[in-house]
């Protein structure tokens, strides 16, 4: 090393001499380690060959395992589905599937007889749907949630109808215990 380099790096001559000696020692003993590792690798190769270990090149590709797993999964699913359907068929009572007796076939087999409906009784059975319902506001209720509860979906026209019937100025000003009239004819 040059003396200017030594001054710049703040390395003393003793440290440089020690590093050179260490470098020489490593070069001399490197060859010994190289030969030792080569003989060890030969011994390991002989051991692996005696165990019959195959080389990693002959391993199956991951796609083979994926396809095999997929096919086995489908087969197992079909077997389980078939097993469950058989269990369901066994567990259902046979009395539910009543088959009419052969002798019970009427003489008018193959022909339909139509009996007209009684229109007077049908008119009596129809009752008008309730026009209005009453609802008491509970904690956490909003006008939107009440509309969804009674009508099944949110519609702004229904919110406006509830506001008109109850004469509400602000739809957000609901109080707990307040009674609302819900028009059901909308």
As a whole number of angstroms, the distance between CA 49 and CA 42 comes to 11
Structure tokens at 116: 């007209």
∠ CA 102-106-108, nearest 5°, is 135
pTM, to two decimals: 0.32
Q: What are the phi and psi torsion angles at 16 (to 5°)?
A: -65, -45
Q: Residues 41-61: pLDDT tens digits?
A: 777 676 666 665 455 555 678
Mind listing the pLDDT tens digit of every residue in the chain (186 residues)? 556 665 566 777 888 888 888 888 877 777 665 556 566 677 767 666 666 545 555 567 888 899 999 999 999 999 999 999 998 888 776 655 555 555 555 555 567 676 776 666 656 556 566 678 899 999 989 889 998 988 888 888 998 989 999 988 888 888 899 999 998 875
As a whole number of angstroms, the distance between CA 93 and CA 85 comes to 14
Q: Residues 146-155: pLDDT tens digits?
A: 989 888 888 8
Q: What is the pLDDT of residue 17?
A: 85
Q: What is the pLDDT of residue 53?
A: 47
As a whole number of angstroms, the distance between CA 182 and CA 41 comes to 89
């Amino acid at each position: 090393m040059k003396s200017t380099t030594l001054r710049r790096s703040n390395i003393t001559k003793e440290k440089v001499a020690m590093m050179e000696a260490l470098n020489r020692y490593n070069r001399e003993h490197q060859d010994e380690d190289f030969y030792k590792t080569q003989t060890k690798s030969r011994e390991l190769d002989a051991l692996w060959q005696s165990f019959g270990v195959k080389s990693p090149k002959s391993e199956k590709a991951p796609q083979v395992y994926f396809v095999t797993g997929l096919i086995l999964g489908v087969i197992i699913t079909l077997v389980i589905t078939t097993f469950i359907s058989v269990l369901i068929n066994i567990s259902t009572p046979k009395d539910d599937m009543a088959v009419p007796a052969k002798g019970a076939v009427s003489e008018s087999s193959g022909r339909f007889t139509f009996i007209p409906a009684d229109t007077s009784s049908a008119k009596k059975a129809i009752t008008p749907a309730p026009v209005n319902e009453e609802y008491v506001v509970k904690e956490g209720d909003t006008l939107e949630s009440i509309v969804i509860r009674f009508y099944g979906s949110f519609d702004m026209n229904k919110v406006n109808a509830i506001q008109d019937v109850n004469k509400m100025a602000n739809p957000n000003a609901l109080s707990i215990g307040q009674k609302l009239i819900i028009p059901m004819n909308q």
